[in-house]
Amino acid sequence: MIYQIQQMPRLYKEVMSKYPNGKLYDSDVRFWYYSWLEDRQVHGLDSAIKQFAGDLQGNWTNLLKDPSIMLQYNTIDTYLTKNFSYWDLIKFIHGYGQKWGGGDSEKHFLYYPIAFKAFGIPIHYFTTYYEFYINAPARYAIFYEGTFFGLPDSVLEPLKQGKYNEVLIFPGNGISPIGSPLYGIKKDLEYGEQHRVEPNAKYIEMYLPVRGKKIYLFKEGKEG
């Protein structure tokens, strides 16, 4: 905890030195946020990612040049970007961490908790567990994903009303780019059940971690 507090001013200055127009490896920092989602799209969550942010894989070449092209699509991500100013900052911080946050463990346990706390953005990184099929002895691989909390009621109301199909709002007004697009998730799991081959969806659960236990919000598919 002391280490995190000590590093918050450094990470705040580091990210703000790039925001809002900075680049990493000649690409807008937000591109790396979308590249993370595109990776999930090609690993079994095609419909979920299309619901949340659009067809990233199909727009890859243009996305690399200018990630703002995705804002032309009527998606959850577009809505949040246009109606909740902090969502653009969230995408920027996340994208920065994708390239400069270290390996998976460093990003999940150090960079993301420190960086988002530095900006006063509530996040819990372990709220979604996902399995997809692979052609290997283990038979499946996994992802853990997180949720951003504290979005205003007024911003979330259209999502609750079904404007973007079925969306899971986590308790505490939380949105997860991976766990919230429930309409797409159900389609992906149904397809994965019918076609049990790499890289289709196998199992997903969304939950709140409380005192070492999980309060499940959604669970579907075949675990393990």
- Which pLDDT score is estimated for 48? 99
**Which tokens go with 209?**
């971690």
Per residue in 108-148, pLDDT (tens digit) is 888 999 999 999 999 998 999 999 999 999 999 999 999 99
- Which pLDDT score is estimated for 1? 67
What string of DSSP letters covers 87-117? HHHHHHHHHHHHHHS-SHHHIIIIIHHHHHH
* Domain count for the chain: 1
| Nearest Cα to Cα of residue 32 among 11, 18, 48, 12 | 18
- Which pLDDT score is estimated for 108? 85
Per residue in 31-44, pLDDT (tens digit) is 999 999 999 999 99
Report residue 178's pLDDT band, with 50, 70 and 90 as the boundaries: very high
Write down the H helix ranges in 28-75: 29-41, 46-52, 60-65
| Side chain identity at residue 131, one-letter code | E
Contact 210, 86 (CB under 8 A): no
Query: Which residue segment(s) compose the domain that 125 sits in?
Result: 2-221
Q: What are the phi and psi torsion angles at 189 (to 5°)? A: -65, -40
Per residue in 1-33, pLDDT (tens digit) is 677 778 889 999 999 999 999 999 999 999 999
Mean local confidence (pLDDT), 144-169: 98
End-to-end CA distance of the chain: 34
pTM of the entire structure? 0.96
Contacts for 30-33 with beta carbons within 8 Å, 24 or more apart?
30/67, 30/68, 30/88, 30/91, 30/92, 30/95, 31/63, 31/64, 31/67, 31/95, 32/94, 32/95, 32/96, 32/98, 32/99, 33/67, 33/91, 33/92, 33/94, 33/95, 33/98
Residue 148, CA distances (Å) to 58, 105, 191 in order: 27, 19, 28
Secondary structure element (H or E) that encloses residue 76, with its range: helix 76-83
Taking residue 37's Cβ as centre, other Cβ atoms within 10 Å add up to 22
pLDDT higher than 80, residue 160: yes
Per residue in 56-111, pLDDT (tens digit) is 999 999 999 999 999 999 999 999 999 999 999 999 999 999 988 888 888 888 89
The set of residues, in sequence order, having a beta carbon less than 8 Å from that of 213 and lying 6+ positions away, is: none
| Nearest Cα to Cα of residue 65 among 27, 17, 16 | 27
DSSP state of 150: -
